[in-house]
Structure 1
Amino acid sequence: MSRWTRPAADAGLAALVGILVGIAMSVATEPALGTRPPDAIAYGLAAVIGGVLLVRRRSPLGVLLVTAACLLLYYRLEYPGITPAVPLAVALYTAASRGLLVWSLGIAALFVVLGLTVRPLHLGEPILPVLTDMAAQAGLLLAVVLLGETLRGRRVRLAEADERLALVEAGQEREAARRAAEERLRIAGEIHDVLSHTITGITIQAALADEVLDNRPADARTALRAIRTAAGEATAELRAALGLLRTDDGEPPPRVPAPGLGQVGELTGQARSAGLEATVIVRGEARRLPPAVDLAAFRVVQESVTNTIRHANARTVRITLAYEPDALEVEVVDDGRPREERGRRGDEHPEAGVTPGYGLSGMGERASSLGGTLTAAPLPGGGFSVLVRMPTGDPA
């Protein structure tokens, strides 16, 4: 109901109740002596009983008390008796529907008790007709109160249902935002891994091409081809990662094969191009891994080799892939100079500083997201070790 129709409805209801109370007063008959016919005061009380309903939504208890007081005053002035249900019904219903059940029952009980005591004792009416009449009026008053209470309970249940629905929707929005944030972090990690590794390789190959361009142009061309190949592969991976951000709902992202341990040979080749002696050791029987584990293991090796090239000043790097029945263990070890001999070159590699940066934290997040663990620490005699262990499930 709108803000315009609600006052109009209240005004119509107030007028109707006032008219009905006035009619009840005009047709009432009283067998006892001493009563006086309704006059201006009586009809004025009827007007007050109806008019006070205009504010029943703002002050339901006040309306109920004023209505009861007017009715009591009407009886006290010894006008012909009328049933209390007509003047009290709307006020009782409104109060009960606003949660004032005790007040509503109390006012209704007050008039029932007064009818059961005053009519036989003061007016001399026979007790049996009085009991019958007051039982009917009590039932009517109780029905009005229960109707208001039922409406209030229904309104409360609807409000609770709306609140639960709002909480569910808010939870869904938070979950969607959390998943979106996780996806953004995952994409950021992919972009970081691709760019860090590719730029390092391009830098090394570019430096090599610059050194041999005059004396060994064939080697320079080889380095430039390696740069072109690395840039092309990085472009494809970046396009796939960024495509996830640009893809509209329902539109499939560009399909680019995710890298895996099958490409570790390319990493060792790039490490050798940078002047490192790179070896790969496989323990156990190599097998097909879950895609997420395969990708995470490759990224760990890629990030570790990149950090070794950029920061470790090492001569060798050893990559160990241990296939266990239900887990994969990957270890990357270099022989870089001891920590105390190096300057602080950044935070990508803990050997170059005390706080791990995006590289190590990204590797740790990849491992933990798959239920694995990552350990990264300098070696006592020099060098650095990165060890990650991830469950792969039953190979069967």
Structure 2
Amino acid sequence: MSTFARARCTLGAHPSALDAALAAAVLVCMVAGSFVDPHSPEGVTWGLRTPDVLSLVLMAVGAAALVFRRRAPLVVLAVTGCVSVVESVTGDPRAPVVMSTVVALYTVAASTDRPTTWRAGLLTMTVLTGAAMLAGPLPWYAQENLAVFAWTGIGASAGDAVRSRRAFVQAIRDRAEKAERTREEEARRRVAEERLRIARDLHDVVAHHIALVNVQAGVAAHVMDKRPDQAKEALAHVRAASRSALDELRATVGLLRQSGDPKAPTEPAPGLDRLDELAATFHHAGLHVEVARADQGTDLPAAVDLAAYRIIQEALTNVQKHAGTRAKAEVSVVRVGPDIEVTVLDDGAGAGDAPGAPGAPAGTGADGGGHGLLGMRERVAAVGGALTTGPRYGGGFRVHAILPVRNRTDAAEDPV
């Protein structure tokens, strides 16, 4: 760092010392200027005139007031303005006390707003120039009188320009800080959304398959001694369900790979094309499931297709867990205008007989204490749909989801 830069940093850290140094410099300039005679026959000559005592006092007062220019800029402007008026009326020979007023006016313009600068500047220019022209010892058209008008205008303009530049720089800094905060908030939001999506997928996969494993294991334990062939079949279903769970967990966890990893998951996300396979897994577990489709082979966006599959999977899993194997579930997928409506109903006939859930309320609503219904609502909201759940009249539970055939991005690109 250069000597000038170090000195600037030091003065910037001590503004009072900087103001005192500025006041001393202004005093030296005023005193030196009071010895100059611009009307000498030999031209501008220094040392041909000397200031009187009153002029020296006025210069000292004007310079001393500048020490407080940051604390009370308007008061300092008023003091230096009064000193300049007195000097303009009585000074002979003239002393440049108005220099302190120019510095004070610059400070007012740099530290206040533009309306205040306009009012203070016009008032100062008018009063000082009028006093010099009308009551001063020189003719009204003297160049010293016009110089008062010019220098006060320059001081106000320079201060306003500095204030505007400071405001512009501060605005740029504020926008940069806001943009940085926005980027950080967006990054945090994306991380939270990704964590929530992964949590939903893991919940759906684990809850579905573990519920099937739990039911089949209970069946195998119950018939192990009396009907070993049925127990063997149940254990086969347990093995198939656990293998399927491992495969889906592997695919889900594979999504967490870094982009530079040598391999990435290639298995597509499940959708309604695997609905019959999903129903078959529950059928093998002992739950009677009927599937009805009237979607005319609609090609759904990947997010909507996955959401529909997961909603049906979670709803049937809750039927299996809480309504029991004697319950009957009905699944319907219907195309209604621009939407796909997915409905899962159960009659709640086996309520209370599910292992580990004695006395549980009938239907899928029994999962209200967990994350099943919450995950459904989040999936539906993510694709811009609507979800309604609740008990049915006469027993059982109903899950009804309305999902848009086109997501919001596709709709924005295709106005038709």
Which aligned pairs between 1:253-268 and structure 2 lie closer than 5 A?
254-255=264-265, 256-268=267-279
Give distance in 1, aligned partners of 2:363 and 2:133: 92
**1:301 equivalent among 312, 319, 322:** 312
Matches of 1:239 and 1:346, distance apart in 2: 34
Distance 1:87 1:348, change over 3 A: farther
Matched, 1:59 2:59: no
The Cα of 1:79 is off from its aligned counterpart by 4.2
- AA paired with 2:297? A
Deviations 1:176-225 (A, max 9, x none): 44443333333222222222212211101211232344455554444344
More deviation in 385-394 or 1-10?
Answer: 1-10
CA shift, 1:13, in A, is 2.9
Note if 1:98 corresponds to 2:94: no
| Pick aligned residue for 2:373 from 357, 360, 368 | 360
Residues 9-88 of structure 1 mapped to structure 2, 5 A cutoff: 9-28=18-37, 37-39=50-52, 42-75=55-88, 78-88=91-101
Equivalents in 1 of 2:55, 2:147: separation in Å? 25
Shift of 1:362: 2.4
SS at match of 1:289: coil
Q: Match of 1:332? A: 344
Q: Which residue of the other structure, out of 170, 195, 201, is the alignment partner of 2:212?
A: 201
Quick one: distance in 2 between partners of 1:65 and 1:391?
71
Shift of 1:148: 0.9
CA distance in 1, matches of 2:53, 2:262: 83
- Aligned pair partner of 1:349 in 338, 360, 364: 364
Q: What does residue range 177-192 of structure 1 map to in structure 2 within 5 Å? A: 177-192=188-203
Q: Is residue 2:121 matched to residue 1:110? A: no
Q: Is the 8 A contact 1:338 1:382 kept in 2?
A: no
Contact kept? 1:28, 1:82, Cα under 8 Å: no
Which sections of structure 1, spanning at least 5 residues, go unmatched?
A: none
Find 1:275's aligned residue among 258, 264, 286: 286
Counterparts of 1:328 and 1:126 in 2: how far apart (Å)? Answer: 93
* TM-score normalised according to structure 1 size: 0.80
SS of aligned partner of 1:4: helix
User: What SS does the corresponding residue of 2:51 show, helix, strand or coil?
Assistant: coil
The separation in 1 between residues aligned to 2:182 and 2:94, in whole angstroms, is: 60
**Distance apart, 1:24 and its partner CA:** 1.6
CA distance in 2, matches of 1:200, 1:226: 12
1:292 Cα shift? 0.9
Give 1:299 deviation, angstroms.
Answer: 0.8
Task: Tell me the residue number matched to 1:5.
Answer: 11
What is the Cα-based RMSD across aligned positions, in Å?
3.7
For residues 348 and 320 of structure 1, the distance between their equivalents in structure 2, rounded to whole angstroms, comes to 17
Distance in 1, Cα, partners of 2:276 & 2:251 = 22
Assess if the C-alpha contact under 8 Å between 1:30 and 1:80 holds in 2.
Answer: no
SS for the counterpart of 2:278 is helix
CA–CA distance in structure 2, aligned partners of residues 348 and 30 of structure 1: 107
Task: Please say which of residues 315-324 and 219-228 is displaced more in the overlay.
Answer: 219-228
CA offset digits 1:293-332 (Å, max 9, x no partner): 1111111111111111111234322222224564322222
Identity of matched residues, %: 34
TM-fit CA distance, 1:343: 7.7
Which residue in the other structure is 2:46 paired with?
none
After TM superposition, give the deviation of residue 240 of structure 1 in Å: 4.8
Equivalent AA in structure 1 for residue 105 of structure 2: L
* TM-score, length basis structure 2: 0.77
Whether 1:378 aligns to 2:384 is no
| Number of residue-to-residue matches in the alignment | 382
- CA deviation after TM superposition for structure 1 residue 114, in Å: 0.3
**Matches of 1:270 and 1:175, distance apart in 2:** 40
Indicate if the aligned counterparts of 1:347 and 1:357 stay in contact, CA closer than 8 A: no
- The CA deviation at 1:382 is 3.3
> Secondary structure in 2 aligned to 1:227?
helix
2:157 to 130, 146, 154: 146
